[in-house]
Amino acid sequence: MCSNVNLEIDRYNYKFSTTYGTYNNDKAINFNKLREDTGFITFDPGLKNTGITKSSISFIDGRKGILLYRGYPIEQVIDKCSFLETSYLILNGELPDSIDIDNFSKKIKKFNFLDEEILSISNKIPKECHPMGILSSLINLLTIFNIKNEDKYLYLLAKMPILASLAYRIKRNLTPPCTDQKSYYTSNLLKMLFSEKNREHKPNYIIIDALDKLLILHADHEQNCSTTTVRLLGSSHTNLYSSVSAGINALWGKRHGGANQEVIEMLENILKSGGNLKKWINKAKNKKDPFRLMGFGHRIYKNFDPRAQIAKKIAEDLIKKLNISDPILDLAKNLEKYALSDSYFKEKKLYPNIDFYSGIVYQAIGIPKNMFTVMFALGRLPGWMAHWKEIRNNNDPIGRPRQIYIGNKKRNIIKCG
């Protein structure tokens, strides 16, 4: 471990201290005084080498394919915890006992209803909107309705599945979702999505379990694009709901959470066009073609994404237990094998990420493609909230990066118009 780093600029020597995390391969040079001392800033497009905070929520070792939630390996969390228990862990830092989780669940149920005012506003939403746009707008509206910010984390945990179901139902011209006070969180979600007028949906426990596990897989992933968005808003002291609404919009992009919809569309296109894997792999490798193999590659994982391996197993188990066949799953497995044996993907360390298999599970459950990223948002909610809470508790400074200006030098307006 080195405690200081020397930097030589124009024959001057500057000393910077270092910061280490729980694991020593998490190490940083403290450059917060760099500009003040040297006149230089760091230039790091995409923030590939910039640590913006200290955090104790989740940990990733991208070279070893390790993901920990509050110190617990994702494989153990998936095996031993429900999504609500995982949410409690992520928000509070420790696993709940039976009394804790009972209270947590009861408090969430207290908010388990669709607000009349939201419903009347939602009647004006055109059904052509993408459900991610509908969800982020409705979440932003919550700012108006829970003015006292009573139990805001649990309030949002309760409202998110209701508003996600409302978004789904608006698109299908269905009546608003009916909440069920007796059901477990994920079962309530499935009922709100799929119940029809005079016919309550009774979700199969195999499906509840698969969806609950997928939500857990998405629950947190340290400083990704949407979480950083939520944190940035938190740093300016924007309220929780508007911060999460911004996170939903950041997640929507196809390089981030929107990839899960793109993966299934890509796999369907490959299947429809005859399943020629070589052609599609070559297309992904061609730098002149904007196409990328969706669901492949990750900023942090340069080895397997442990979530992708678990999602693959959930998909295989679900399809087996439901006794259905899915040519898309078979195609995905073949494509994975093909890509992983290709030198381009090997050299660039591109492996399947979570989005590669999650859509296959959603599809088997009956969730339409344009709702896939909404499901991701439901899973990521505890993580977003924990990061927002952490930044407020740490009282981190407002996030405000620098730039290198490359525009025009100062000039005068001679005439306008």
Q: Least CB distance from residue 245 to ligand ACO, whole Å?
A: 18
259 forms part of the interface with ligand ACO (CB under 6 A): yes
Q: Please, which residue, 177 or 257, has the CB nearer to ligand ACO?
A: 257
- Amino acid type, 290: P
257 counts as binding ligand ACO under rule CB under 6 A: yes
Shortest Å distance, C-beta 157 to ligand ACO: 21
Task: Dig out the tokens for 78 from the structure.
Answer: 């998936």
Judged by beta carbon, residue 78 or residue 294, the one nearer ligand ACO is: 294
Is 163 a residue that touches ligand ACO (CB under 6 A)? no
- Of 70 and 298, the one with the shorter C-beta distance to ligand ACO is 298
Rounded-to-integer distance, Cα 82 and Cα 74, Å: 12
- d(C-alpha 305, C-alpha 294), whole Å: 14
Taking residues 329 to 348 in sequence order and writing x for each that binds ligand ACO by CB under 6 A, - otherwise, the string is -------------------x
Q: Give the nearer residue to ligand ACO in terms of CB position, either 157 or 339.
A: 339
Backbone angles phi, psi at 20, to 5 degrees: -120, 150
DSSP symbol at 257: T
Nearer to ligand ACO, 292 or 321 (CB): 292
Closest by CA position to 349, among listed 338, 359, 339: 339
From the candidates 115, 220, 305, 355, which is the catalytic residue? 355
Q: Which residues contact 71 (CB under 8 A, 6 or more apart)?
A: 59
Q: Which stretch binds ligand ACO (CB under 6 A): 4-12, 158-166, 239-247, 351-359?
A: 351-359
Q: Tell which one of 297, 306, 382, 383 touches ligand ACO (CB under 6 A).
A: 297
- Asked if 234 touches ligand ACO (CB under 6 A), the answer is no
Of 163, 153, 151, residue with least CA distance to 113: 163
HSE-CB at 95 with a 13 A cutoff on CA atoms is 10
Q: Are 17 and 4 in contact (CB under 8 A)?
A: yes
Q: What is the DSSP letter of 25?
A: T
355 catalytic per annotation:
yes
Stretch that binds ligand ACO, among 27-35, 66-74, 195-203, 297-305 (CB under 6 A): 297-305
Q: Tell me which residues in 31-70 interact with ligand ACO (CB under 6 A).
A: 46
Q: Is 26 exposed, middle or buried (0-12, 13-18, 19+ CB in 10 A)?
A: middle
Which tokens go with 263? 């993966």
Active site residues: 298, 355
- Summarize as ranges the residues that interact with ligand ACO (CB under 6 A): 46, 255-257, 259, 284, 292-299, 348, 350, 353-355
